[in-house]
Structure 1
Amino acid sequence: MNESLQQERNDSASETSHAAEAHFVRFINVQKSYDGVELVVKGFDLDIHKGEFVTLLGPSGSGKTTCLMMMAGFETPTHGQILLKGEPINDLPPHKRGIGMVFQNYALFPHMSVAENLAFPLEVRRLSKAEIKRKVARALAMVRLENFGDRRPAQLSGGQQQRVALARALVFEPELVLMDEPLGALDKNLREEMQYEIKRIHAELGVSMIYVTHDQTEALTMSDRIAVFNDGVVQQLAAPETLYEAPENAFVANFIGENNRLYGEVTEMIGDKCQVRLDSGETVLAKPVAAGGIGARTTLSLRPERVDIAASGAEASFDNRFRAEVREVIYLGDHLRTRVSVCGTDEFILKTPNAKHYASLRPGQSVDIGWSSSDCRALDA
C-alpha cells in the first residue's frame, strides 16, 4: 500500500515537473496600455518551453519590446498574467526574477574591467571570491575572451563588447535570458558572426532565451520558434521554416522573406484548390489558405524561388503558366534575380539557380514562366 502511494506521489511529481518545463514562461491574455486608452499589446498569449529559443519579431512599434520589458519587470501589464516556472511574477521586482538581460547598447560599466563587469552580478548575490573567480573565467571562456579580463570596455571592439554583455547575462547561470535587439549596433559581418555565436551558446547551455528583433534573418537563423508581431497582436507563432513556407496571412507572407503579391477575386473552389481571377484579367490556380469564399477578395503570395522558367513551346508542366517580359537581370553569384512584367505587374521577381544557365536572359526578352498551385497561397485581401 505504501509503495503504491509513493509511486502515485512520484508520478504526480513527474507530471508537475514536465508541466513546468512545457510552460516555463507563460503570457496569459497580457495587455499593455501606457495612456489608459490605446493598447500597445493586445491579448498576448505565449507558452515557452524550458530550453527553447523564441524570437519576438516585428516592425518598430509592434509591441514586441514591450512584451520583453514586462517579462523583465521593467513594465507592468495593464491586464493579464505572466508566469515563470508556474509562479506569477507581475508584482515581482526585476532583481528578484533571476533573469539575464542583454541590451543593444551593451550597458557595460566603463570604469570597470571586463572581469569586474562580469563579477558584479555575482558580488550582488554575495558569492565567495573563489566562486566568483571560477564563474568569471568560465563565462569568458564561453564567449572566447579568456585573455581579455583585464581590459576596459573602451579597449574592445563592438563585437567583443557584445560578447562581454552576453557573458555578464549568463555568468550567474540564469534559467532565462532576455535579449533586446542585441546585435543592432554591429556591422553586417559581426552581426552574422554573433548570430552563430549566440546559437552555439544556447545549444551548449540549454538556457531559455527570448530574443527581440525586427531583422527577419536573425530570427530565421537562430530561433526554435518565432512570434510575428504587428500592431500589438501576434499574427503567427511557428518554427522558422513554417513561417516562411506556410504563412497564415498576407502580413506574415510579406514580412518574412521576399514575396510576389498578386491581387484578385476567388471565382471557383476546385477540390483543394481555388481559382482566382486577377485584377489584370488572368486566371490563377492557388491553395486556399485564408481566401474566404467565392467572390471574396484575396492576395496571392508566391516566393520568387518557386517560380521557374519554362522552355518556349514546351508542353505545359505547371498549374499556372504565363508569358512574361524580362525587365532586369541581376547576377548574384549562386543565383540570378530576374524582374519580369507579368499578370499586370512590372515587379514580379524570379530567383533561379545559376547552375540552370539562365545567364543569357536579357531585358526585353519574352519568356514562359510557371509555378505550381501548391506554392501559390491565397491569403486575406
Structure 2
Amino acid sequence: MADITDPFVRFMDVQKSYDGETLVVKNLQLDIAKGEFLTLLGPSGSGKTTCLMMLAGFESPTHGEIILDGVPISNVPPHKRGIGMVFQNYALFPHMSVAENVGYPLKVRGMGRDEMHRRVRRVLDMVELGHLGGRRPAQLSGGQQQRVALARALVFEPALVLLDEPLGALDKNLREQMQYELKHIHETLGVTMVYVTHDQTEALTMSDRIAVFDDGIIQQLAAPSTLYEEPGNSFVAQFIGENNRLLGTVEAVDGQECRVRADSGDVIHALDVRTTGVGGRTELSLRPERVSINPGAGTTPNILPAEVLEVIYVGDHIRSRMKVCGHDDFIVKVPNWAGHVHLRQGEQVEIGWFASDCRALDA
C-alpha cells in the first residue's frame, strides 16, 4: 500500500448536517492512500454512506473540505471528478447492450470508436464477460449485472472507484466469490477503492484498512487483523466478529494488565486497554476461539467454572453456549480435530484464557 503521509484522498474536519442541527458526520479527519482498498464499515445511520456520497459529489459538506489528489473538490460537480461508481442496484441502462452500457462513460467523453471498443473488450474480459457483450442486462444474472456495473466504473481508467454496498443483492455464495474477484481486480489494477458496507465479513476479507463508523465518528481505523485482534473500544469489539462480554470493576492495575472483579464476584486478569483505573467500571472483551476447555491448574491465569448449555456441530469447529459468571450467552469455539474435548449439554467444566487475550475496555 502507498505511503499514507502523501494521501490521495483527504477529509479535513468534514461535517454534514441535513437539518442544520443534527450532525450525521462529525469532524471527520481521514486520509486515504493512493492504491488503497479502504472500507467504511458501520451500522445503518452511522455516517459511512454520507461520507461516500460527499466524496462522489452527490452531497456537499456542511463544514470542512475534501481533497482529491491535492485539489479541493467541494465545488467540483460529480461528472468532473473522474470517479468511478458502483451502486447496489447496478443502475444499468436496460435498453442498451452490455457493451453499450460499459462503453457509455467513454461515449460521453467523446472517445473515438476504435479506442472505445478496445477498452470495452479489455475491461469485459477482465470481469470474464467478454462473451456476453451483445446481451441486455435483463438477460444476465445478478452477479453478471454486478460485473457489468464494475466494468463500467473501470472502463475510463479512473484513479478512484467508489462502491456503495455493491454485493448486497447477491446470494451468499456469489457474494463471497465476488469479494475475492473484487480484491483480485484491485490488486491487478492498483486503483484506489473506497467501499461501503455493513457486512463485517466482507470488510475483513477485502480491505487494506477498515474505518469503523458509529454515530458519525470513526471509532477505529486499522487493518482487518488489528480491528479483530485489538479492538480499541467496546463498540468495535462487539461490531467486528463474535465477542464475549463480561462487566466488572477494576481492582488493581499492574503495568499493561489489570485485575477485574466481575459482577459475579469472579476475579479476572485482563489487558488494560481502555479503563479509567482502579475503581472504574469496565467491559471485558474475549473472542470465543481464545477460550480453552479444562485447561489444567496453572496453565492460564484465568480459570473459571462453566456450565454447558448448548452444543452445536458447525463442521470445522464445535460451538458451545455456556453459563459463565452468571451470563448464559458465553460462547466457546473449539476446533473439530481428532482428540478434541467432547462436550455434553448440562456438563460442568472449567474454561480458561490468557490475560493477553482478554481486553478491558470502556464500560
Please classify the TM superposition score into its range, dividing by the shorter chain length: over 0.9
What SS is found at the alignment partner of 1:193?
helix
Shift of 1:270: 1.9
**Residues of 2 paired with 1:262 and 1:315: CA distance?**
22
Moved over 6 A (4+): 18-21
Shift of 1:344: 1.3
Shift of 1:102: 0.1
Q: Which amino acid in structure 2 is aligned with residue 352 of structure 1?
A: V
Q: Which amino acid in structure 1 is aligned with residue 231 of structure 2?
A: P
Q: Would the aligned equivalents of 1:50 and 1:208 in 2 still touch at CA under 8 Å?
A: yes
> Partner residue of 2:326?
344
More helix by share: 1
Q: Would the aligned equivalents of 1:325 and 1:367 in 2 still touch at CA under 8 Å?
A: yes
TM, length-normalised to structure 2: 0.98
Correspondent of 1:215 among 199, 203, 219: 199
| Structure 1 segments unaligned to the other structure (5+ residues) | 1-17
**Residues of 2 paired with 1:159 and 1:21: CA distance?**
37
2:350 aligned with 1:368: yes
Shift of 1:359: 5.8
> Partner residue of 1:29?
13
| Structure 2 segments unaligned to the other structure (5+ residues) | none
Q: Would the aligned equivalents of 1:63 and 1:229 in 2 still touch at CA under 8 Å?
A: yes
Matches within 5 A, 1:52-67: 52-67=36-51
Q: CA RMSD in A?
A: 1.2
Correspondent of 1:69 among 29, 37, 53: 53
> Partner residue of 2:337?
355
Q: Which amino acid in structure 1 is aligned with residue 196 of structure 2?
A: V
1:241-284 Cα offsets, whole Å, 9 max, x none, are: 00000000000000000000000110111232101111111110
What SS is found at the alignment partner of 1:111?
coil
Query: Mean alpha-carbon deviation: is it higher for 257-266 or for 20-29?
Result: 20-29
Shift of 1:22: 2.5
**Residues of 2 paired with 1:90 and 1:247: CA distance?**
33
Shift of 1:315: 2.6
**Residues of 2 paired with 1:77 and 1:265: CA distance?**
42
What SS is found at the alignment partner of 2:131?
coil
Matches within 5 A, 1:143-292: 143-292=127-276
1:203-225 Cα offsets, whole Å, 9 max, x none, are: 00000000000000000000000
2:308 aligned with 1:321: no
2:282 aligned with 1:298: yes
Q: Residues 359 and 316 (structure 1 numbering): CA distance in 2 closer, same or farther, change over 3 Å?
A: closer
> Partner residue of 1:106?
90
**Residues of 1 paired with 2:238 and 2:4: CA distance?**
36
Count matched residues: 362
> Partner residue of 1:6?
none
Shift of 1:316: 2.5
**Residues of 2 paired with 1:21 and 1:318: CA distance?**
42
1:144-192 Cα offsets, whole Å, 9 max, x none, are: 0010000000000000000000000000000000000000000001100
**Residues of 1 paired with 2:341 and 2:142: CA distance?**
40
Q: Which amino acid in structure 2 is aligned with residue 64 of structure 1?
A: K
TM, length-normalised to structure 1: 0.93
**Residues of 2 paired with 1:125 and 1:281: CA distance?**
69
**Residues of 2 paired with 1:127 and 1:357: CA distance?**
65
